[in-house]
Amino acid sequence: AKGEVPQLGNLVFRFSKSLAKDSMLNVWDSTEYISFEPKIPGRFRWESPDQLVFSPAQFLQPATNYKAKLSSEILRHTKYDKIEGADNIVFNTPALALENMQVIWTMPDEGTRSVVPQLDLLFNYKVNPARLKDKLNVEVDGNKTSFDQQTVTPDTKISFRLASFKPEDRNYETKIFIDKGLIPEGGSNSMTE
C-alpha cells in the first residue's frame, strides 16, 4: 500500500516488528485495524506476525489518492504503544490515461455513399463524453477540425466523427489534444498533462 496500486487487489502492510499472535494468522477479520480516506470497505487478515493484508470488497475509485490511518487496534496484542510513520501512509490508483486511438472510415447512414473518419479514443477508465468534448481539439493537416460526438454515455471507448470532412485518396496528418482537467467517472484526480 504505497505509491500506485491496482484498482482491485489486496493491500499489504508490513511492520518492522511482530504484532500478531499465531492464533490470529490466516483468519479473515472485520476489525478495523486501518481506516482509509476515502473509505474502502473490506476485511483484514494477518498473513504473518508482521504482515497485515487488507482485501477490498470492491474496486478502488479510479484516479484517486488514498490515505491510510493505522488504529491502536493493531497494537492490542503487543507491548508497543506507537507505530512510527503511522499517519504518513498514502497511495493512489493509476491516473486517467489515453491508452490508444484509432481512426476508421464509416458511413454516417446507409442512404449515402460518402464516408467520414471516426475517431475512437480508448481510455483506461470510463470517461463522460460531454466533458471530453469540451476538452478535445482535433487538427487535420494543421487546421482545427470540427467533430460530432457519437458516444453518449460514459465509457472507456469514446467515438467522434470528423465533421465537414472531404475525403481524398491520401494520408492526413491528424493531431489530437486533450486539455488538462479531464476526470474519469467516479474518480477525483484529473489529467495533469
- Residue pLDDT tens, the chain, 193 long: 889 999 999 999 999 999 999 999 999 988 999 999 999 999 999 999 999 999 999 999 999 999 999 998 999 888 888 887 777 899 999 999 999 999 998 887 776 677 889 999 999 999 999 999 999 999 999 999 999 999 999 999 999 999 877 778 888 898 999 999 999 999 999 988 8
> Exposure string (b/e) for 150-184, b if CB count within 10 Å is 16 or more?
ebeebbeebbbbbeebeeeeeeeeeeeebeeebbb
Chain-centroid distance of CA 62 in Å reads: 3
Q: Which residues pair with 56 in a beta bridge?
A: 42
Distance CA 85, CA 105 (A): 56
Please, which residues have CB within 8 angstroms of residue 106's CB and are 6 or more apart in sequence?
Answer: 115, 116, 117, 118, 161
Fill in the amino acid letter for 117.
Answer: P
Question: What's the start-to-end Cα distance of the chain, in Å?
Answer: 25
Our measurement of the distance from residue 28's CA atom to the centroid of its chain's CA atoms, rounded to an integer in Å, reads 27
Max Cα distance, the chain (Å): 80
Global pTM value: 0.84
SS3 167: coil
Q: H or E element: which one contains 124?
A: strand 116-127
